[in-house]
Every structure is written in structure tokens, then in C-alpha cells.
Amino acid sequence: MNSMDYLNTLLDEAKRVATEFEVTELMIYGGPIFIGLIVVEIIFSLKYNPTLYKWKDLATSGTMGVGAAVLAGGAKVFSLILFSIVYIIFNPDDSAGVRHNIMGGWAAFGLGTWYVWVICQVLDDFSYYMVHRANHEVRFLWAAHIVHHSSDHFNLGTAVRNGWVTLFYKPFFYMWICALGFHPIMLMTCLSIEAFWQYQLHVQWMPRFGFLEKIFNLHKHHEVHHSSNIEYLDKNHGGYLIIFDRMFGTFKDKDDSKDIKYGVLHPPKSHNPVEVLTHEYVHIWQDVKKAKTWKGRFMYVFGPPGWTEDGTGKTTKMMQAELAALKKAA
């Protein structure tokens, strides 16, 4: 059987397994559930927190969400094909029809063992942490991700304000999991679970959860992530786990005694969805055009947000170092 036959066979298997595990139904019901919860939160806010939503802001978030949902279908097909190709290349089947990994000879993992699902979900969360951190630390990626952070409100409407470009480069950060032998449909399902978890984090009214906050990425952690307070910038990148942030030095707990400001330091100047989607790319292009060296051009695209060729700009690390020095001197 040649590689194309492998791919066709795997895609047929993927369709069958997707139906069996109701992945399709999971994604179909996701949209109405998200919308329903936003409506419930709006009704709740009218009585208890009238400033939680602003209609222009919600309209922009909704437009971003609808566009992302339309593109998500194509992105999922692209992801499934990419994951399947990687799975096939690194886990070819033998004469007996059993797939073995070319890196270590172990059999590819099946779909029916519970602990394999758990391991895949943890690996998925590690990849989520890495791509999410890169989205904040590499300016070209930040230009796509800033869409999600561009609102100065933190609510379930903000949860659906997603960048469109992100959908198509994100799968490349996950394909290594299929190279290890995890089934593409298993990984796709884990990604869907991760997305549902991320959505429900965008609320302000949830309480503290005690010791669970040492393990899981919970609501107060995500408030920090969406804050533009200097000390909170580029923190808490995890999906449903917070352990990778703790391991790699990007964890920051919320100080409940201090006010928090949501959004970004340099937000778009309009609610126009086109500007929200493209404003940071425009700024990158303007910076690249005025750069005097190839290093400057490279750094304006792939360096951290805030970096400037003449040294007048400030990155997150620079601003946090200055803040720490001020606190120490006080």
C-alpha cells in the first residue's frame, strides 16, 4: 500500500472514528452553547455588573467569532490532513497491518485506552502553552493573537474574539504529538476539549478554587493573562493546566487587593473588525520599512513586541524589570 493509499485509508478511518466519538456533534453544539452562555451572562450583568459588556465591543467580538467559526471548518480539515500525514510517515504499518513508530519501534497508540487519552491531553496542553507563549513573544505571531486581547472587557464575548490567521499556523505546533504515535482523531478531540475549557475561563465572577489553582489554569489565572497591568503581562499561558507556567517561570497569581485593567497597552483605535484584525500587521510593515539594517527588519517581525532598532522601545521584560527595580528601591 503506497502513501496515498495510507492517507485515504486513514482519512476514512478518521471519519468513522469522528462519528463514533461524536467529535462532529461536539463542534456543532459548541457554537449554540457559546452563544447561549453569552446571553445568560449579559442578562446576569444587567442587574449585577452593568459595565461588564459594551455593545460596540460585543459586536466586534461577535464578528471576529463568526469569521473564526467560518474559517474553522477549513482549518480543521487542514489540521486533520497535516496530522494524518505526520502520523503515517512516522508510524508506517507493517506486513501485519500494525503501525510501529520509526523512532523507537513501539506500536502506535490506539483510541481505546484511557491513560493514552490522558497522556495525549497533557501533551496537547504542553503544545498549547508553547504556541500561546510564542504568540505573546514573537511579534509576527502577536499580530494574529492580539485580536483576542484587543478588548478592554473581560467576559464570555471576549472569549470568541479570535484571530483568524492563528487557525492555520497553530497545528504545526501540535503535529509532533502524532509523530509519537497518537492518533490524529485523538489529538483533534483533545484540541476541542481544550477549546471548551478556554472558553469558560473568560468570566470575572467565579470564586477561588484553593489547591486546584496550583494544578489547573482557572479563572483568576486567566484574568491575569488578559490584564494590561505591567506585572501581569505575558503570564499564565497554559490551556487547562498551570503547571507549565510554574515550571517555566511565566506564572503569576492575581493580587485580589489590586485593581486590574484588561486589554493591551496599544489597542486598535477602532471597533472596525478589519482594523482589529490587521492593525498590528500594518505597524510591523511600517517599522520594517523604516528599519536601517537587516537585523532591525528581522527583529521587527520576529523579535518581541515593543523592541525597536534605536532602543527607545520597551519589551515586556524590560518594563517588568523596571517595575521590579522601582519596587525594590521604594
Could you give the CA distance from residue 177 to residue 172 in angstroms, rounded to a whole number?
A: 10
Could you give the CA distance from residue 16 to residue 182 in angstroms, rounded to a whole number?
A: 17
Question: Model-level pTM?
Answer: 0.91
The answer to whether residue 289 is domain-embedded is no
List, for residues 217-249, the tens digit of each pLDDT value.
Answer: 999 999 999 999 999 999 999 999 999 999 999
pLDDT at 35: 85
Most confident of 18-27, 105-114, 310-319: 310-319
Q: What nine digits make up the cell of 132?
A: 500561546
- Domain of 62 in residue numbering reads as 3-248
The answer to whether residue 82 is domain-embedded is yes
The answer to whether residue 25 is domain-embedded is yes
The answer to whether residue 16 is domain-embedded is yes
Could you give the CA distance from residue 230 to residue 311 in angstroms, rounded to a whole number?
A: 19
pLDDT band at 72 (very low <50, low <70, confident <90, very high): confident
Could you give the CA distance from residue 323 to residue 330 in angstroms, rounded to a whole number?
A: 11
Between 73 and 308, the more confident residue is 308
107 phi/psi in degrees, rounded to 5:
-70, 140
List, for residues 9-32, the tens digit of each pLDDT value.
Answer: 666 665 554 444 444 445 556 678
Is-contact 220 213, C-beta < 8 A? yes
The answer to whether residue 258 is domain-embedded is no
CA 152 to chain centre: 18
Q: Which of 246, 143, 237, 140 is nearest to 198 (CA)?
A: 237
The answer to whether residue 312 is domain-embedded is no
The answer to whether residue 145 is domain-embedded is yes
pLDDT at 7: 63
Number of compact structural domains in the chain: 1
**Lowest-confidence pick of 23-32, 156-165, 315-324:** 23-32
pLDDT band at 207 (very low <50, low <70, confident <90, very high): very high
The answer to whether residue 304 is domain-embedded is no
Given a cut of 50, whether residue 151 has pLDDT beyond it is yes
Instruction: Tell me the C-alpha to C-alpha distance, in Å, between residue 233 and each of 175, 206, 225, 228, 275.
Output: 28, 21, 7, 6, 23
